[in-house]
């Protein structure tokens, strides 16, 4: 396994997967009574987690390799990672919190301290779902992951790195077995350790991707097929308990890892063309705004419809409801990207992961 040579490059079909993930979450939240979208939010969030584990680990491993090649310490790399994540996540997140406070979103006002420090998932673990702000739990998990993961990847001795990542993957079912029965379903679902089966497996995929293992594509394909068969078997099973949930989580993760791996290599034919189409790439680029705003858009629409004296959202019918929400969400997310998020993104150039080594002639 070679981790020495930086080899991360932009893989457009992964942006297409981001679009697919956010679409599943939105459809599940906007049409909860349609059984076809029943698990969409769960699948979409887990796909986001696998993607995050894979991409963030690849970036960190490449940064570590470059730092080590020039004899640099990891301090600058860690600080730059946090700064770049700050620029990508924090500005829009806090702007949306302020805007939702201004228009009176009840679950933002009531739980603001928890949202402000990215502890929404902790609040939900204690009290259950919190309406229009519930989706912020996954952003809290992502931020908690970003907090610890650079320390794990950059500071763990190389000989222990792979086993450490595997340990994080296994920590998820172990936690659920030890505490899930006693603490209840919410704790099992929303704490960061509960999602390390997907975040960690995404990270593990980075190591597999850079390995010299023979028949790796076939092995991952077989693992994904096994996961799919297991999911189908569980779907028709009458059982539902903690072990059922653990097996279900890993089966889904195997399917998603296969999907991410195939997209990273590039699907051929129609699937590849769709994932890399301009529309899918654009929606993938603005997917953070789409995800962050989507649960608030029905509340935003209700507010301005009340102001102008229009009929309530509930009377518009499901198709008008969906069309209006979609239009407003796309408009807000596009404006956010072009006139707000991208303005902060340009400052990432001031936070390189390593300094270029300059040779001074003697």
In a domain, 361, yes or no: no
The rounded distance, in Å, linking the Cα atoms of 331 and 325 is 10
In a domain, 359, yes or no: no
The rounded distance, in Å, linking the Cα atoms of 2 and 25 is 36
Residue 185 in tokens? 């379903």
For 157, phi then psi, to 5°, come to -55, 140
In a domain, 6, yes or no: no
In a domain, 300, yes or no: yes
Model confidence pTM above 0.75: yes
Burial class (CB in 10 A: 0-12, 13-18, 19+), 163: exposed
In a domain, 7, yes or no: no
Sign of the CA dihedral with 211 first, then 216, 217, and 221 last:
negative
In a domain, 355, yes or no: no
197 is in which domain, residue-wise? 12-350
Query: Do the beta carbons of residue 137 and residue 121 sit within 8 Å?
Result: yes
In a domain, 4, yes or no: no
The rounded distance, in Å, linking the Cα atoms of 84 and 110 is 30
In a domain, 249, yes or no: yes
Query: Do the beta carbons of residue 259 and residue 11 sit within 8 Å?
Result: no
Q: Which residues of the chain have pLDDT under 70?
A: 1-8, 33-38, 180-185, 238-240, 356-362
So what's the pLDDT on residue 359? 39
Residue 339 in tokens? 């006139």
The rounded distance, in Å, linking the Cα atoms of 69 and 144 is 29
So what's the pLDDT on residue 49? 98
Per the structure, the count of domains in the chain is 1
């Amino acid at each position: 396994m070679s981790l020495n040579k930086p080899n991360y490059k932009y893989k457009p079909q992964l942006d297409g997967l981001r679009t697919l993930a956010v679409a599943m979450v939105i459809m599940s939240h906007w049409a909860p009574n349609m059984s076809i979208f029943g698990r969409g939010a769960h699948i979409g969030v887990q796909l986001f987690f696998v993607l995050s584990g894979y991409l963030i680990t690849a970036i960190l491993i490449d940064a570590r390799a470059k730092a080590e090649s020039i004899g640099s310490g990891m301090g600058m790399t860690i600080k730059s990672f946090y700064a770049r994540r700050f620029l990508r996540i924090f500005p829009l997140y806090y702007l949306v919190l302020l805007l939702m406070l201004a228009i009176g979103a009840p679950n933002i006002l009531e739980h603001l301290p928890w949202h402000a420090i990215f502890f929404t998932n902790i609040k939900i673990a204690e009290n259950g779902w919190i309406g229009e702000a519930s989706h912020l739990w996954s952003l809290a998990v992502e931020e908690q992951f970003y907090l610890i993961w650079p320390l794990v990847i950059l500071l763990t001795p190389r000989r222990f790195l792979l086993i450490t990542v595997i340990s994080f993957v296994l920590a998820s079912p172990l936690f659920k077995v030890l505490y899930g029965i006693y603490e209840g379903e919410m704790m099992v679902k929303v704490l960061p350790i509960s999602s390390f089966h997907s975040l960690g497996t995404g990270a593990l995929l980075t190591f597999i991707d850079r390995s010299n293992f023979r028949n790796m594509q076939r092995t991952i394909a077989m693992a994904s097929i096994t996961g799919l068969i297991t999911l189908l078997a569980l779907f028709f099973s009458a059982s539902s308990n903690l072990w059922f949930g653990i097996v279900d989580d890993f089966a889904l993760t195997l399917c998603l890892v296969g999907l991410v791996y195939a997209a990273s290599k590039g699907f051929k034919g129609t699937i590849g063309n769709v994932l890399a189409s301009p529309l899918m790439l654009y929606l993938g680029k603005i997917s953070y705004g789409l995800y962050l705003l989507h649960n608030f858009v029905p509340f935003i629409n209700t507010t301005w419809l009340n102001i102008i004296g229009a009929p309530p959202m509930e009377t518009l019918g499901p198709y008008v409801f969906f069309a209006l929400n979609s239009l407003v969400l796309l408009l807000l997310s596009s404006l956010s990207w072009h006139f707000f998020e991208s303005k902060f993104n340009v400052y990432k150039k001031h936070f390189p992961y390593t300094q270029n080594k300059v040779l001074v002639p003697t």
